[in-house]
């Protein structure tokens, strides 16, 4: 029953409750206009001296500009589910580095957790926290690289969370 509820909830969230609203760029993004129509951008483009600068301003003229005449990057808040081309704009400029950052941060955190768990099992745990044990570090880094799979496995088995009996509560 819980799995059925989870599947139905996921389907509702993926397909949405309401149709996506369309808004004008100027309304949605605080006064942004196409750069080809921005007077400040046209002033900047007129002062371009080199052929590379002229080509750059031609490319930027297809973007949207603020009041300062500088192009702005817009990443839509929603992606079309199951679309043929998910990264149709600049979403990849944000999503890909964001996922890489989260993965590397997870490796660092999970490796440290595994190292401390391994050090706690040895007789000289305090020394292993001060003087790094290379073999334990190497095995911890390997487990850290697999952190999404390990977190899922430990989450399903209940090993990831401590039981309520082992959590101390301060008296009031």
Size (the chain), residues: 172
Q: How far apart are CA 42 and CA 79, in angstroms?
A: 32
Nearest to 150 by CA among 96, 114, 98, 125: 114
pLDDT higher than 70, residue 19 = no
- Residue-range definition of the domain harbouring residue 61: 23-75
Q: Residue 75: what pLDDT? A: 63
More confident residue, 68 or 131: 131
pLDDT at 148: 94
Helix (H) or strand (E) holding 134: helix 134-145
Q: Between 125 and 23, whose confidence is greater? A: 125
Phi, psi angles (nearest 5°) of residue 70: -100, 140
Domain with residue 66: its CATH number is 1.10.8.110
Q: Looking at the domain assignment, is residue 152 inside a domain? A: yes
pTM: 0.52
Please choose, from the candidates 116, 166, 122, 170, the residue with its C-alpha nearest in 3D space to the C-alpha of residue 144.
Answer: 116
- Arithmetic mean of pLDDT over the chain: 81
- Report if residue 128 sits inside a domain: yes
């Amino acid at each position: 029953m819980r799995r059925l509820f989870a599947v139905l909830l996921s389907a509702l969230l993926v397909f949405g409750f309401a149709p996506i609203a369309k808004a004008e760029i100027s309304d949605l993004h605080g006064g942004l206009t196409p750069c080809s129509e921005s007077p400040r951008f046209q002033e900047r483009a007129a002062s371009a001296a080199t052929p590379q600068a002229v080509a750059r301003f031609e490319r930027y003229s297809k973007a949207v500009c603020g009041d300062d005449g500088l192009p702005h990057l817009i990443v839509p808040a929603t992606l079309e589910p199951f679309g043929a081309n998910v990264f149709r704009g600049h979403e990849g400029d944000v999503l890909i580095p964001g996922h890489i950052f989260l993965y590397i941060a997870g490796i660092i955190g999970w490796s440290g957790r595994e190292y401390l768990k391994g050090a706690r099992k040895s007789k000289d745990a305090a020394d292993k926290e001060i003087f790094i044990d290379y073999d334990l570090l190497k095995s911890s880094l390997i487990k850290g690289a697999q952190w999404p799979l390990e977190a899922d496995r430990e989450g399903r088995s209940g090993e990831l969370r401590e039981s309520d009996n082992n959590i101390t509560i301060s008296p009031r």
